[in-house]
Structure 1
Amino acid sequence: MASIKDVAAEAGVSVATVSRVLNDHPSVSADARTRVLAAVETLGYRPNAVARSLRTDQTRTLGLVISDVLNPYFTELARSVEEEARALGYSVIIGNADERPDLQDHHVRTLLDRRIDGLLVSPTDGGSPLMLDAARAGTPMVFVDRWIPGVEVPVVRSDGQAAVRDLVTHLHRLGHRRLAIIAGPAATTTGRERVDAFRAALREHGLDLPDAYTGQGDFQAESGRRVTEGFLDLAEPPEVIFAADNLMALGALDAVRARGLRVPDDIALAAFDDIRWFVHTDPPVTAIAQPTGALGRAAVRALVDRIEGRPGESVTLPARLVVRRSCGEPGPSPSPSPVRRSTS
């Protein structure tokens, strides 16, 4: 592997000149810069990233702590973050909190110890003093999807309130009146917001949300299964179950099928956080879709702005309702049978 001394010898300049060219120093002549860059290309030289970070106090590395890597929403979010970071010249180290505050803080602490330039976090709850301390210490940080009230950093998220209202209106038009929700953790901003939006939308149509129709989940499939079993055991089960994330919706679907029931004939199902799988279920699931890719890209840009001394701005993007057939929506009309012509 070529060294910086090899590049200097090939270009006929000093090691200091090579260093200045690689660090884009303005004091190098155009001729020397051209020769150094040609030597770098010829020798295939790659600067030592660790040594450079010690000189510049930058690692060109971002940390991303997501709530659950098995959740397709966060998988897609992480992919868009990595793609945008790479386009801007940064690498990403990812930590999976698995919806556990202790594991979240472990990853945050580890990433800060590794001298990342900035941190993207989707918090598992709102009570982490570590995040508050990091923000107060001046660590460039951005919250994505979820946030912690009182921690003054940019937040990049989607607003699902209008989409939830659209969903409830859609269900009301289909004739549904008994609507239940599988809520996410109350310790998360998204968990609280989605329940509040659902309850407010019901009130607009003169409907209540009884305690019996509110089940506490944890954004995991098993909790969706457990809460749905409780709904089905009621003397008057709900007509519709709205799961506040995709994994809980899949758990709900499992519970319905385990009882020998069918969606939407026996009970309807809708979900927050649309995923690609929902078009392949039978029936396809009506869901609220977040602009996941756009959120990831916007979060990276906001973080890089803060790293590079520009004011990073909060961004809120709208979610939207995607209507399919899991709530009793009319399906496509069957194709007419071909008319057989008589051969006689």
Structure 2
Amino acid sequence: MATIKDVAKLARVSTSTVSHVLNKTRFVSPEITERVESAIETLHYAPSALARSLKVNQTRTLGMLVTTSANPFFAEVVQGVEQRCFELGYSLVLCNTRGDKARLNASMEMLLQKRVDGVILMCTQAHLGAKVFDRYPSVPLVLADWGPMDLGADLIQDSGQQGGRLATEHLISLGHRHIGCITGPTGKRAAEERLAGYRAAMEQAGLAVRPEWIAEGDFELAGGKAAMARLLERSERPTAVFVGNDMMAVGALRALADAGLKVPQDMSLVGYDNIELARYLVPALTSIEQPKARLGALAVDTLLARIQAPDSPRRVLTLTPELVVRESSAALAIPRRLG
């Protein structure tokens, strides 16, 4: 395998000149540059990524901590991160924490041992392990919508309250007045913001928010199914439900099917996230679109900007949600008795 010394010998220059040509760290005349590049091509020389990283104190590798890449929402954001890393010539080390604080801490330690240039954090339980990040204040961090808001890191966030309003206003525009909500876990920022949007839309329309029509879920399939089952046990049922994310909406569809109810004829549903699966459900799910690929790409760009300017002010960037109307929501044709 050719070395930098071999290239220098063939090009009749010093190894430092070869290094300057490779790294563009100093002006080298076109003639000498051409000789060096020709020698590199002839010898099929490939610079050592490890040696270069040690010299410039960068590995061109980013880390990402995510709750689980198996969840479609997280998986689609990860795809956006990977694509942007590929475009910019960076590698990505992905760690699934699976909601485990110990695993979160161990993964962070591993990333630091690998000398990643920075970390993208997208963990629902990150607030439980926030102290681990305090131990490494010099490590560039970006929160991709999920994580401890008091960490002080750059943040790419979804406008959850606006999204919750959009979903609820859509159902109100279809004539629904008895609207329920399946929320994410209490204490999670995303869950609370989307619930606040639902409440704001109901209040603006002069509609009552009935506590018995608000059911807490867990952002997962089983939680959505269980929450809808609880709503269906009520003596009076809503005619439409805003569900805090698409995974819970899929579970809610299962519960409605098990109860012999049809969507949207018996109940309209609106989800949140607009995961790829949403369009293939039966019925296809109306949902609030989060620009997941853009979220991932923006997280990478923001992290690289932080690496280049570590002392710059904290950046908080907000993405705009959009309503995607499909088959699971429909106009309330005629008033009907609840229950």
Q: What is the TM-score normalised by the length of structure 2?
A: 0.89
Find the aligned partners of 2:76 and 2:41 in 1 and give their Cα distance. Answer: 35
In the other structure, the counterpart of 1:10 is 10
For residues 191 and 171 of structure 1, what CA distance do their matches in structure 2 show?
19
**Offset at residue 303 of structure 1 (A):** 0.6
Q: Which amino acid aligns with 2:231?
A: F
Supply the distance in 1 between the matched residues of 2:318 and 2:324 (Cα, whole angstroms): 19
Q: Distance in 2 between matches of 1:158 and 1:173?
A: 24
Letter of the aligned partner of 1:268 in structure 2?
S
Matched, 1:189 2:189: yes
Runs of at least 5 residues in structure 2 that lack an aligned partner in the other structure: 333-339
Give, in angstroms, the shift of residue 242 of structure 1: 1.8
After superposition, give the CA deviation of every residue in 1:108-148 in whole Å (9 maximum; x if it has no partner). 2221221100111113133323354156x221111112242
81-90 vs 51-60, which moves further: 81-90
Contact 1:147 1:155 in 2 (8 A): no
Q: For residues 27-66 of structure 1, what are the structure 2 equivalents within 5 Å?
A: 28-66=28-66
Q: Between 86-95 and 24-33, report the one with greater CA deviation.
A: 24-33
CA shift in 2, pair 1:187/1:43, >3 Å:
farther
Query: Which residue matches 1:166?
Result: 166
Measured against aligned partners, the alpha-carbon deviations of 1:245-283 in whole angstroms (never above 9, x if no partner) come to 111111111111122221112222110110222222222
User: Which residue does the alignment assign to 2:336?
Assistant: none
1:94, CA displacement in angstroms?
Answer: 1.0
Per-residue CA distance 1:196-221 (angstroms, 9 max, x = gap):
22122211122233332222222111
Supply the distance in 1 between the matched residues of 2:86 and 2:108 (Cα, whole angstroms): 21
* 8 Å CA contact retained: 2:160, 2:190: no
The Cα of 1:325 is off from its aligned counterpart by 2.0
Letter in 1 for 2:98: D
TM alignment of 1:80-91, pairs within 5 A: 80-91=80-91
Is 1:229 equivalent to 2:208 in the alignment? no
SS at match of 2:151: coil
What is the CA deviation profile of residues 164-186 of structure 1, one whole-angstrom value per residue up to 9, with x for unaligned ones? 22222221222222222221123
SS of match in other structure, 1:127: helix
Q: Within 2, Cα distance between the matches of 1:234 and 1:105? A: 42
Q: Secondary structure at the match of 1:115?
A: coil
AA in 1 matched with 2:321: A
Q: Is the 8 A contact 1:223 1:248 kept in 2?
A: yes
- Separation in 1, partners of 2:67, 2:197: 22
Query: 3-state DSSP class of the match of 1:146?
Result: coil
Q: 1:160 to 1:191 in 2, by over 3 A?
A: closer
The answer to which of 213-222 and 18-27 deviates more is 18-27
SS at match of 2:128: coil
8 Å Cα contact 1:123/1:188 also seen in 2: no
Structure 1 residues 231 and 10, CA, compared in 2 at 3 Å: closer, same or farther? Answer: same
User: Counterpart in 1 of 2:199?
Assistant: 199
Which residue does 2:119 correspond to in 1?
Answer: 119
Give secondary structure in 2 for the equivalent of 1:181: strand
Among the aligned pairs, what percent are the same residue?
A: 36
Equivalent AA in structure 1 for residue 196 of structure 2 = D
TM-score w.r.t. the length of structure 1 is 0.88
Secondary structure of the structure 2 residue equivalent to 1:86:
helix
Give the secondary structure class of the aligned counterpart of 2:62. strand
Aligned 8 A contact 1:199 1:208 in 2: no
How far apart are residue 27 of structure 1 and its match? 5.4
Does 1:245 pair with 2:245?
A: yes
Aligned counterparts of 2:108 and 2:258: Cα–Cα separation in 1:
40
* d(CA) in 1 for partners of 2:68, 2:34: 47
2:260 is the alignment partner of 1:286: no
- In structure 1, give the amino acid aligned to 2:25: H
Q: CA 1:191 to 1:100, structure 2 compared with 1: closer, same or farther past 3 Å?
A: farther
Partner residue in 2 for 1:317: 319
Q: Hey, what's the Cα distance between the residues in 1 that align with 2:241 and 2:106?
A: 35
Root-mean-square deviation (CA, aligned residues, Å) is 2.1
Aligned to 2:130: 129
1:300-340 alpha-carbon deviations (Å, 9 max, x no partner): 1111011112636321121011112212249xxxxxxxxxx
CA positional deviation for 1:241 = 2.3
Which residue is equivalent to 2:152?
Answer: 152
Q: 1:30-73: per-residue Cα shift (whole Å, max 9, x none)?
A: 33222222222233222111122122211111111122212222
Distance 1:329 1:94, change over 3 A: farther
In the alignment, the residues of structure 2 paired with residue 134 and residue 198 of structure 1 have an alpha-carbon distance, to the nearest angstrom, of 38
Does structure 2 conserve the Cα–Cα contact (< 8 Å) formed by 1:122 and 1:143?
yes
Q: Does the Cα contact within 8 Å between 1:160 and 1:320 map onto a contact in 2?
A: no
